[in-house]
Chains A and B, each alone.
Chain A
Amino acid sequence: MDLIMNLTLNGLATGMLIFLLAAGLTLIFGLMDVLNFAHGGLFAWGAYSGLWIYAKTDSFVIGIVGAILTGFLLGIIIERWIIKPVYGNHVQQILITLGLMLVLSEMLKVIWGPNQLTASPPDYLKGSWEVGGVIIIKYRIFIILVGFLIFAGVQFLLKKTKIGLVVRAGVMNKEMVQALGINIQKVFMFVFMIGAGMAALGGVLLGPYSGVIHAGMGMEFAILAFIVVVIGGMGNFKGSVLAAILVGLSGSFMAYYVPDLSLAVNMLLMAIVLIIRPQGLFGAKG
C-alpha cells in the first residue's frame, strides 16, 4: 500500500512539473498557432535563475518569484522580437524556436558553467511525514499543491475574467476577436508571458526535486511536454493537466515495475492516442 501511495505521489509530482511546462505550450499553440520548441529553454532558465536567486537571498520564495519574473521577461522578449516576425509560417517557427532552444541552453552554460548544479529544498520543505505507515515526502506534496494551485488560478483566469474570455475566444476565432475591437497582439503577448512564467516555475520547482539541474534539462522535459500536449489535445488546457498526470503516473509506475519500458511508455501512450483519437483525448475534432 505504501509503495502504491509513494509511486502515485511521485507520479503526481512529476506530472505537475510536466503540466507547468505543457500548459503554456498548449495555450500558445491554441491561441497563436505557434509550436514553440524553445519552451523547454524557459523551463531551464527558470531553474537556473530561480535557484541562483535562492542561493543569493537564502529565500526559496524569492527564488520562485524571481524565476517566474525571469520567465515573464524572457516570454515578452521572445514573443516580441523572435516569434512575432514568423507568425503564420510554421517552417520558420520550427527553425527559429529550435535555434532559440540551443541558444538558451548554451547561454546557461556561459553564465553558470557547463557542469550540472546541485539544488535542495529549503529546510521547511525537507523531510517527510508518516501517515498510517506511509512515508510522504514533503517536497512532493508541495509540488503537487503548487501545480493544482496554478491549474486553479489559470482556470479562474480563463473562466472568470474578461482577458480569459478573450483568450478562449481567440483560440476559437482570432479574426473575429479583432473584428470586435480587441488587439489580439496584446493578448498573444500576455499568453506567451503567462506560459513562459509557468514553464520557469516548473523549472525552479524541479531543481530541489531532482537534486541537480543542467543546461539540457529543458529539452528533456520539453519532449515530455510535447507528448502531453498531443495526448491532451492541442490547445486544450484542461486536457494538458489530465494528460500530464497520466504521463507522470505511467512513468512512475513503469519505472518501478517494468524499468526497461519506462522510457518508452510515454511514446507508446502517445502512439496509442494518435491511433485511436488523433485530436487528443480532450481535443475537439478539427
Chain B
Amino acid sequence: MKGLLELNDVETFIGQYHILQGISIEVKKGEVTVLLGRNGAGKTTTLRTIMGLNPASKGSVAFKGEPIHSLPTYTIANKGIGYVPEDQGIFAGLTVEENMKVAIQKENEETAKRMDWILNLFPDLKKFWKKPGGLLSGGQKQMLSIARAYINENELLLIDEPSKGLAPIVVEKVMDSILQMKDQTTIVLVEQNFMMASTIGDCFYIIDDGRTISHGTMKQLKEDEGMKRKYLGIA
C-alpha cells in the first residue's frame, strides 16, 4: 500500500545546524506511526519539516503522492494536515472558544458534528469555553491543542509529545482521546512515554542523530529488548 505521507531522505538545517541528516518515513493511511528516539534526535524537527515550519533543504516530503516540501505552511495545513506542537501553541489571550474559531476552516454541518464529538471527548473545554487559553491547566491546554487540530476534516494529525509534563491521570485521558481519534484519522505521534507509544502505535520509526535508523511494527519493537535498551533507554 502506498503511504499517505512519505519522507524520502529528508535533510533540514536550522540556522547553521544540520538537524535532519536523512529521514525516510512512510506513514500508512489509518495507522498510528510513532517516532521514537532520544532527546534532540530530530523528532520534533521532523514534524516541523513536514509542516514546512523548518523547510527541508534536501529530499522530498509527499502527502497523498503530491510533493509538499516546497509549499508554505498554510498550504500544507490546508491540504489536510493538523498539527499539535510540542508547546501546544495555544493563543493564551484568546478564550477556548476563540482558539477553536481561529482553527475552523469551514463552518458547516460536518464541523458542527466534529465540535460536538470533541466537546464530549473533552468536557473540560466546554466547561471553560469562555476562559482564556493561557489560564488552562497543562492537560487542558493539550486537549485544546488536539481539539483544534481535529476540528477540521484533516486526514493526518501530527502530534508532538502530548504526554510531556502532564500528570499520569491526565496522560491516560489524552491517550484515551488519541485512541478514539485513531479510528477516524491517520496519526504521526512523537512520544517519549513508551507505555503510551506502544499502546497507541501501530508502527514505529526510531530516529537518532537526525537519521531514521530502524522501523517496524510496534509488536516487533515490544519484543526487541536490545533495541529498546540501546535507543530508548528502557531496561
Contacts and interface: CB of A to CB of B under 8 A. Distances in A.
A175 interface: yes
User: Chain A, interface size: which category?
Assistant: 10 to 19
Given A181-B77, A181-B78, A182-B74, A176 B105 contact: no
Contacts of B102: 165-166, 169, 177, 180, 182
B101 A184 contact: no
B89 interface: yes
Given A165-B102, A175-B53, A184 B91 contact: no
B201 interface: no
B94 A180 contact: no
Contacts of A165: 94, 98, 101-102
Interface in A146-189: 162, 165-166, 168-169, 172-173, 175-184
Contacts of B51: 179
Interface string B91-114: 111100011011101000000000
B115 to A, nearest CB: 15
A90 to B, nearest CB: 17
B89 A175 contact: yes
B94 A179 contact: no
B89 A181 contact: no
Interface residues of B, number: 22
A181 B74 contact: yes
B104 to A, nearest CB: 9
Nearest to B133: A172
B91 A179 contact: no
Nearest to A182: B74
B210 interface: no
A182 B75 CA distance: 8
Interface string A65-90: 00000000000000000000000000
B55 interface: no
Main secondary structure of the interface of A (DSSP, over half): helix
A172 B74 contact: no
A162 B101 contact: yes
B85 A176 contact: yes
A169 B99 CA distance: 8
B91 A176 contact: yes
A267 to B, nearest CB: 30
B98 A183 contact: no
Interface string B50-74: 0101000000000000000000111
Nearest to B52: A178
Nearest to B158: A179
A191 to B, nearest CB: 16
B205 interface: no
A149 B77 CA distance: 37
B12 interface: no
Nearest to B84: A179
Contacts of A178: 53, 72-74, 77
A181 B103 CA distance: 8
B85 A172 contact: no
Given A162-B101, A165-B101, A166-B102, A179 B89 contact: yes
A238 B53 CA distance: 31
B74 A184 contact: yes
A234 to B, nearest CB: 15
A137 B17 CA distance: 64
B204 interface: no
Contact of A169 (B73, B77, B85, B91): B91
Contacts of B72: 178, 183
A166 B93 CA distance: 12
Contacts of B152: 181
Q: Which of B99, B102, B152 has the most CB of A within 10 A?
A: B102
A180 B148 contact: yes
Contacts of B92: 172
A172 B93 contact: yes
B81 to A, nearest CB: 9
19 contacts: A162-B101, A165-B102, A168-B98, A169-B91, A169-B99, A169-B102, A172-B91, A172-B93, A176-B85, A179-B51, A179-B53, A179-B77, A179-B89, A181-B77, A181-B78, A181-B105, A181-B152, A183-B72, A284-B93
Interface of B: 51, 53, 72-74, 77-78, 83, 85, 89, 91-94, 98-99, 101-103, 105, 148, 152
5 nearest A-B residue pairs (beta carbon): A176-B89, A181-B77, A178-B73, A181-B78, A179-B83
Interface of A: 162, 165-166, 168-169, 172-173, 175-184, 284
Given A175-B53, A178-B53, A178-B77, 6 more contacts: A177-B102, A179-B51, A180-B77, A180-B102, A180-B148, A184-B74
